[in-house]
Amino acid sequence: MDSRHGKVRMNVEGDRLSNLPDDLIHKILSFIDVKHAIQTSALSSRWRYIWTSMPCIDFSSEGFYMLSNFSKFVTHLLPSRNNQIDVSSVKLTFHGNDSHAHGNDIQVPVKKLLDYAFSHNVQQLNISCLRVKKIEFPCSLFSSQSLKHLTLTGYSYKHFILTPPTWELPALATLNLCCVTFYDDCSDKRVGLFSNCANLKNLTLKNVTLVGLNEFVICHPGLSSLTLEDGSEHVNVVTPQLKNLVIKYWQRIHLISAPNLSSLHYEHHYYILDISADLPHLEKVDIRILNLYVDLANYHKMVPLLQRVHSVKFLTLNSEIIEVCWLVFVLNLIFRLSHLKRFSI
């Protein structure tokens, strides 16, 4: 009796899950990669084709012995989807470091997947290359009228994603780049990056480098939030609508124009932020410089920086900055004592 009751109860629960609407099942399947989502087709006739209409697709090479096998999987899977269904989100993750892999083992699935996603109005794209040495994206792949959110993540400074310097992504609102290299054949050109991303609002650059380019020129009329982290490339920031700026351990940044900036967070070991812009709306400032004593010139650079942020309402400084400012004040005071014959501490 108990055994029969248990079977009936299991059947009822199974029916409840199968009776869920497609969009809710799609939401559940979005938490697993597409390989495992396909395996649910063996559950029943209800589940046989439901994966083919998933709007969110997660491709991962984890579980594939070789990247060439993963490439074949991606190539054969895309034609099996319901071609009438748009793709709202695509995630592509390369794991491992396959010593037998060829360039095409990575380039082919990337190109096929991006071509498919862009032709099906993808809005969100996330590509991660974990321990894969290099992926190079041709300029033609960065052309989409629908893409709103893009994240590209390399593995380390030795494993970069290579991209062209300018993209045609007019709907893009959020861009996150980590371990990415921009390359171009013209070494004398000052590039206004992201100039063809008219709706870009939020930009994060972490460990980004240039090849064949002189410098970053982040000049964007609508950008409201900018984060720069772990970089050494020269960057000029010209952003009239920028509200929030975060800079962490990026050593060569020149803030030229950001008249609407309201929040500034700056961290570095010893470099001082170079500001020539007027910041009349700045309200919140957090500055942390850890080793000001390494370079004596920083003593005199710190004061002009603080003068630029004199009208803020909320100011946070680390103890080293307070010590340096106090030292500069005392030394200036001492030098003005014309009759001083002896000074000691």
| Residue listed under structure tokens 């064949």 | 212
* DSSP letter, residue 129: E
Please give the model's pTM, rounded to 2 decimal places. 0.81
Query: In this predicted structure, what is the pLDDT of residue 187?
Result: 42
Closest C-alpha to 137, from 163, 167, 171, 175: 163
Query: In this predicted structure, what is the pLDDT of residue 321?
Result: 76
10-residue mean pLDDT profile of the chain (345 residues): values are: 51 65 85 84 82 87 78 85 90 67 63 86 87 65 86 74 76 91 58 79 90 77 94 86 94 85 90 82 88 64 76 85 71 60 53
Query: In this predicted structure, what is the pLDDT of residue 271?
Result: 78
Query: In this predicted structure, what is the pLDDT of residue 284?
Result: 92
- Angstrom distance (rounded) from CA 148 to CA 156: 26
Joined tokens for residue 162 = 């290579």
Q: Is 19 within 8 Å of 44 (Cβ atoms)?
A: no
Helices (H), ranges, the chain: 2-18, 22-29, 34-39, 67-77, 103-119, 298-308, 319-335
- Angstrom distance (rounded) from CA 250 to CA 158: 18
165: three-class secondary structure by DSSP: coil
Query: In this predicted structure, what is the pLDDT of residue 8?
Result: 47
Q: Which amino acid is at 220?
A: H
Closest C-alpha to 153, from 174, 181, 189, 193: 181
Query: In this predicted structure, what is the pLDDT of residue 298?
Result: 64
Query: In this predicted structure, what is the pLDDT of residue 203?
Result: 95
CATH 3.80.10 fits 55-343, yes or no: yes
